[in-house]
Amino acid sequence: SGPRLLGLCGSLRAESLNRKLMLEAARAFDGEFAEASLRLPLFDEDLEAQGIPAEVAALAAAVAGAEAVLFACPEYNKAPPGAVKNALDWLSRLKPNPLRGKPVAIVTAADGRAGGERSQMILRWMLVPHRVEPLAWPEVLVARAGTEFDAEGRLKSERYRAQLAELMGRLRDACR
Ligand code: FNR
Which CATH number applies to 4-174? 3.40.50.360
Ligand 1 center to residue 73 CA distance, Å?
10
- CA-closest residue to ligand 1 atom 23: 111
Ligand 1 center to residue 173 CA distance, Å?
31
Paired residues of 149 in beta bridges: 155
Q: How far apart are the first and last CA of the chain?
A: 14
**pLDDT (tens digit, 0 to 9) for every residue of the chain, 176 residues total?**
799 999 999 999 999 999 999 999 999 998 999 999 999 999 999 999 999 999 999 999 999 999 999 999 999 999 999 999 999 999 999 999 999 999 999 999 999 999 999 999 999 999 999 999 999 999 999 999 999 999 999 999 999 999 999 999 999 999 98
Closest by Cα among 164, 113, 156, 122 to 139: 164
What residue ranges do the domains of the chain occupy?
Answer: 4-174
pTM score, two decimals? 0.98
Ligand 1 center to residue 52 CA distance, Å?
30
In angstroms, what CA-CA distances link 14 with 10, 78, 135, 153? 12, 22, 27, 13
